[in-house]
Each structure stands twice: as structure tokens, then as C-alpha cells.
Amino acid sequence: MPLAPLGSINREAGIEAALRVWKAALGEAHVLCEPLALAAASATTFETSQRVLTILRPADRGEVQECVRIANRFRVPLYPISTGRNWGYGSRVPANDGVLLDLGRLDRILHYDERLAYVTVEPGVTQRQLHEFLLARGSKLWMDATGASPDCSIIGNTLERGFGHTPMGDHAGSACNMEVVLPTGEVIETGFGSFASSRVGAVGRAGAGPSIDGLFVQSNLGVVTRMSVWLMPAPEHFEAFFFVARRTDQLGGIVEALRPLRLDGTLRSVMHIGNDYKVLAGLQQFPWEETGGRTPLDRETMGRIRGRLGIGFWNGSGGLYGSRAQVREARRRVRRALRGKVDRLQFVDDRMFQLLRRFAGPAGWITGWDIKRTLAVLKPVYGLLRGVPTTAPMASAYWRKRTPVPAQPDPDRDRCGLLWCSPVLPLTGPDAVRVTSIAEQILLEHGFEPQTSLSLATDRSAIGVITIGYDRDTPGDDARALACYRRLTADLTSSGYPPYRLNVASMDLLARDGAVEAALRALRNALDPNGVIAPGRYQPTGPLAQTERLRSGVA
């Protein structure tokens, strides 16, 4: 039987006692209790009330196990973070009051196989670190990168099902062989790594018998302390492509044109299509002067700016990877598919990209395009399409701030308002139109710009990333933003488009059916009898179901 939940014992006393033991285990220096540090860790880009009570910084897996065992002993919940840069979804903030288990010191790249194209990393390994590691070794492998920040953890992003831009853009789908500290403190390896002396842990995911990797993604069933991540060989040739569609009604046709190219393998990577608001927020902060300080930026003003900056209503980017001939043929197919569907389609390879940069200043190479601004957006995207991490998109978190973007952006510290709502949709035109229309209507109604993009995440589905960008220093905006987010998520879910990811203030929006919830709770009780790992994370409450009744002997 599961033991008594946290609530029924003296929590404060438990934490005090646990702290002494944790300090003995990790050393005083690695148990952070300073109010400023705790306040900083409790801040994210939207309103939360959860408090970080302490931060534990174990040095290695053994210390992680110790931390977890102590947590069991004193019934104190631990919230594992890798580097804690879960921007837009809660940064470091736990799902409930609790102790952070900060895995940032586990930052080793443990193994690297150039031939089989993978690395094995710990949770503290960042995008920047892996990128530099590969460069330093003269590797011919490319990693995948998200636009979040070079300091994001690779494992942290993968465990949130983050995605990037290359053929390895589906992160959870390109990783395997986790080492997991279970909530009881024991260590397991997933997949074929669970066989002693196995040579195939990192190269095949399945394993023999049930596969449990999925249990540790977006979950609270264990602490992942290691993972193998698949890389891609640098292609012989790479080309990016960018397109612009000037009318709102072009989106459906574009999606319909691109789906066959995903399904037939011509497009092997995660394409992105952003609307005008999304692109503008990447180019500059809110145009306070032009609007006379009025928010939201209305459709009419947006249209004017769009014309002036030469951006489209819809703006797409993607990458083509292969031999010269493979890329040439992919280009021909993309061009043919998008003919008549977009107003401008540009393919850019390394040579062209250098050329563009050289001529950006003096001339402006295509009339109507503000090439300098375009390049400012294109450059980081061009890099991301090749797996190069970038700080650039971080600036867009400052969209509604009235102060300029600092040299070292930190949206948590600077009280940027940022919420991402991210529905999944079938990869069809009508679904794309429906999701983006719902988003546009609800955001404008709530006083926010509908910064919307679609990522062609898989062959059959897309993920919408709808940004609610605001300034936490504007009174009332915190509440309005969260209300907007909740309304949008609920409306999209009931329209058939559930979120692929949730923020720490909104786990209750996980509207899975009761039987699934009950089964997940049974699994949770089995693996975490004392409920010490991240209670509340991707875990709403719900009615008792048959599985639990049987289990507890009621049936």
C-alpha cells in the first residue's frame, strides 16, 4: 500500500530534518537555501504561486540516488530539473511547492560514436556544450537544436518532448537508453541497456519485452540521469528554403501542398510556418510609437507593418539535406508543390547566404524586402536548420517590454510575460486553418497579439506554437494572459486539438479520460509509493477507476 501522502505529516519539520541529511550527503555548498536564490528559482514568465523550498545540486548519479532516498525517508517531494530553462512552460518552477533537484552539475558527455552517430549525455549537458564538443572534435555529425537557448539542457528538452528543425527534430523520437533513478532510489536502464554487456543500448530503442522509455517523458516516474541522443551525419549538401504568402487564406493550400512531401520523404525535417505577428516579434519589440501605446497590435496596423517590412502573412522555413542531386530534386519538388500557393520562395545555400550577407547593407537585393531585417531573422533560422544553437529567438520574449532587450537575456529575471500554448493537429489544410483561426480570435479578444506558428513535427501531424507575449509589469496582464491561455487550451482541446505540452500552472488542463488517469496513477503508486518525485507534474486528479479499486481490494 502507498504510504501516507505528504499532506498528512509535518512538512516543515520533515524538510528541516531532510536538509541536515542532504547537507551531509552533498556538502553545504550544494544545498541552496538563500532566499534570493529560492525566489529567483520560483520566478517564471507567468504568474505562479509555487515556492521552491531548497535547491539540491548533486554531483553525480550516486548523489542523485542519495537525494531521492533521503526524500523517501522524510517524505519530501523533489522536483528534478536539468538546467531549468523550460521557457514559456515554467522555467524551473515546480508543479507544487517543493525542493528542486538541480541536475546541472551532471554535465558530462559520456560517450560519442562518430560512426554510429550518437552521443550519450547527462542532464546538465547544454546545446552549446554539445555543439562545441562536436566542433572541437572535427566531427562530421550535426546535432539538432531548438531555438530556446544554447544553455538549454538536451535531456531537459527531450523529456518535455521539445523539437527542433533538422531531420532529428523529434527529440524524444531520436533518443534512447535512458538511465533512470527510480523514485525509490534504484537505478535502471531502459531498452537494450538493461541487458548486461549489451552493445546495442544506444543504437536501438525497443529492448525486449515492454518498452518503458515513454514512461519517463513528461512524467514524474523517475529522474533521468543519462540518455543517448542520435545525431545526423552532416549532409554533402544543405539548402534552406524560405517562403512568404501574403494572404491569410493561403495557409490551407500550403499545408496541403507540403504534406505529400513529408509523407514521401522529400521533406525529412521539421518545417516551420509562422504568421506575421510571430515574425515581427522576432524582428523587433512592440511598436509602441506607431500604435500610440495601444495594445493589442490590431490587424490593420499589423498589415501596414507587414507591407513595409516585406514579411508575409505566412512565412515558412525548411531545410533540404542530401547529396547535391538529392537536394536539387527535393528543391524541384518543393518548388512545384508550392507553385501558385506562395508569393515568394527562396532557396538559400551556404554560398548564397554569404552573398546575401555581403549585399545586405548597400542595396537590398530584392525590391520590397528589407534585407537587413530579413537577414536578422534568417540567420539564426538558417543556423537552426543546420543544428546550430542560437540566442536570437530569446529576444522575442521581450516583445512587450518597454526596455530594450539586454545583452544577457533572462526572461524570468526581467519579468517578461511568455506563455506557449501548443496544440497538436492533423497535417491538413482545414485543421491548420481552424487552429490558427481559433488562436487569432481568442488572443485578440484577450488583448494579445496572436503570434502563431505551425511546426510540421511528424509526417501526419503538426504542432501549433501560439505565443502569449506580454509584460509582467503591466498590471492585470498576468491574470489576463493566464485566462487567455486556459481558454485557448480548453477550446482547442474540445475542438480536437489537445496540447502536446503543458505549463506548470496548468496541469489540470490535461483532460485525458478517467480510465487512463487511473491506470497512470496505478503506475505512479507502483513506482513512487511515497509520492516523492514531482507530484502534480503532468498529473491531474480524477475519479477512482476499476484498476485502483481492484488494486486496493475494494472490487
Considering only residues 494 to 523 of the shown chain, the ones binding a second copy according to CB under 8 A are: 494-502, 510-513, 515-516, 518-520, 522-523
Given 7, 35, 138, 209, the residue binding a second copy (CB under 8 A):
209
Query: Quick check: 41 binds a second copy (CB under 8 A)?
Result: no
Q: What distances in angstroms separate CA 540 from CA 48, 81, 90, 374, 456, one per listed residue?
A: 17, 20, 17, 43, 28
Query: Where does residue 138 fall: left (phi above 0), alpha (psi -120 to 50 degrees), or beta otherwise?
Result: left
Chain-centroid distance of CA 328 in Å reads: 32
**What are the cell numbers at 405?**
532587450
Stretch that binds a second copy, among 6-14, 309-317, 445-453, 488-496 (CB under 8 A): 488-496
Reported as half-sphere exposure (CB side, CA atoms, 13 A), residue 133 has a value of 22
Query: Quick check: 235 binds a second copy (CB under 8 A)?
Result: yes
Complex with a second copy: residue 183 or 310, whichever CB lies closer = 183
Given 63, 102, 431, 477, the residue binding a second copy (CB under 8 A):
431
Stretch that binds a second copy, among 259-267, 300-308, 412-420, 471-479 (CB under 8 A): 259-267
Complex with a second copy: residue 194 or 301, whichever CB lies closer = 194
Query: Quick check: 114 binds a second copy (CB under 8 A)?
Result: no
* Biggest CA-to-CA distance, the chain: 79
Pairing verdict, β 175-181 and 187-189: antiparallel
Site for a second copy in 356-415 (CB under 8 A): none
Given 29, 196, 363, 554, the residue binding a second copy (CB under 8 A):
196
Given 161, 246, 415, 487, the residue binding a second copy (CB under 8 A):
161
Given 9, 16, 20, 195, the residue binding a second copy (CB under 8 A):
195
Q: Could you give the 3-state DSSP secondary structure of residue 202?
A: coil
Contact 45, 502 (CB under 8 A): no
- What is the smallest separation between the CB atom of 252 and a second copy, expressed in angstroms? 13
Complex with a second copy: residue 17 or 182, whichever CB lies closer = 182
Contact 101, 79 (CB under 8 A): yes
Determine the Cα–Cα distance for residues 202 and 433; give it in Å rounded to an integer. Answer: 40
Complex with a second copy: residue 474 or 547, whichever CB lies closer = 547
Query: Quick check: 172 binds a second copy (CB under 8 A)?
Result: yes
Complex with a second copy: residue 309 or 527, whichever CB lies closer = 527
**Residue 491 has what DSSP assignment?**
H
Q: Could you give the 3-state DSSP secondary structure of residue 39?
A: helix
Query: Quick check: 115 binds a second copy (CB under 8 A)?
Result: yes
Determine the Cα–Cα distance for residues 294 and 287; give it in Å rounded to an integer. Answer: 9
Site for a second copy in 46-105 (CB under 8 A): 72
Determine the Cα–Cα distance for residues 481 and 477; give it in Å rounded to an integer. Answer: 6
Query: Quick check: 426 binds a second copy (CB under 8 A)?
Result: yes
Give residue 389's identity as a one-letter amino acid code: P
Query: Quick check: 216 binds a second copy (CB under 8 A)?
Result: yes
Query: Quick check: 354 binds a second copy (CB under 8 A)?
Result: no
Site for a second copy in 278-317 (CB under 8 A): none
Given 96, 301, 346, 428, the residue binding a second copy (CB under 8 A):
428
Complex with a second copy: residue 315 or 436, whichever CB lies closer = 436
- What is the smallest separation between the CB atom of 173 and a second copy, expressed in angstroms? 8
> Backbone phi, then psi, for 148, in 5-degree steps?
-60, -60
Query: Quick check: 433 binds a second copy (CB under 8 A)?
Result: no
Stretch that binds a second copy, among 77-85, 228-236, 445-453, 476-484 (CB under 8 A): 228-236
DSSP for 91-154? TT--SSSEEEEE-TT---EEEEETTTTEEEE-TT-BHHHHHHHHHHTT--EE----SS-TTSBH
Given 192, 243, 286, 485, the residue binding a second copy (CB under 8 A):
192
